[in-house]
Amino acid sequence: MSFTVRVSAEFEAAHHLREYVGGPEPVHGHSWRIEAALGTDALGRYDLSVDFVTAERLLRDLAARLHDRDLNTVPPFDRRNPTAENVALWVADEIRKAGILSEGARLESVTVWEGRRNSVTYRP
């Protein structure tokens, strides 16, 4: 038996790549979406695999830290390019640090959308 729970959150933010095809990219904005897939092989307390409420609250908090911001000014993106790939890595690191994964639960993936058509998925 295996379960995957997906939670997502959205935010609006600007960014630009510092070094892109010969120079910095112009500042531009996106409607971003982040999604975390959390997996377990068994049900835990209350017959849940992962608590939606806790996981969604964390993703909403992470999105709020980026909402209506220029990502290039928000650590760690003030030091590294705020690509969708780096946003996915940051989300994964923040999930790990938050300690929301119960015993036996794992982070399966983080997907980040820049707009409605383009996304990247990170699988730890």
Question: Are 72 and 80 a contacting pair, CB within 8 Å?
Answer: no
Question: Are 91 and 34 a contacting pair, CB within 8 Å?
Answer: yes
Task: Write the CB contacts of 94 (distance below 8 Å, at least 6 apart in sequence).
Answer: 58, 62
The DSSP 8-state label assigned to residue 16 in this structure reads -
Predicted TM-score (pTM) of the model is 0.92
Does domain 3-122 bear CATH number 3.30.479.10? yes
DSSP alpha helices (H): ranges in the chain?
52-66, 84-98
Query: Strand 118-122 to strand 28-40: parallel, antiparallel, or no bridges (unpaired)?
Result: unpaired
Domain ranges for the chain? 3-122
Instruction: Render pLDDT for 32-91 as a digit per residue (tens, 0 to 9).
Output: 999 999 998 888 778 778 888 889 999 999 999 999 999 999 999 999 999 999 999 999
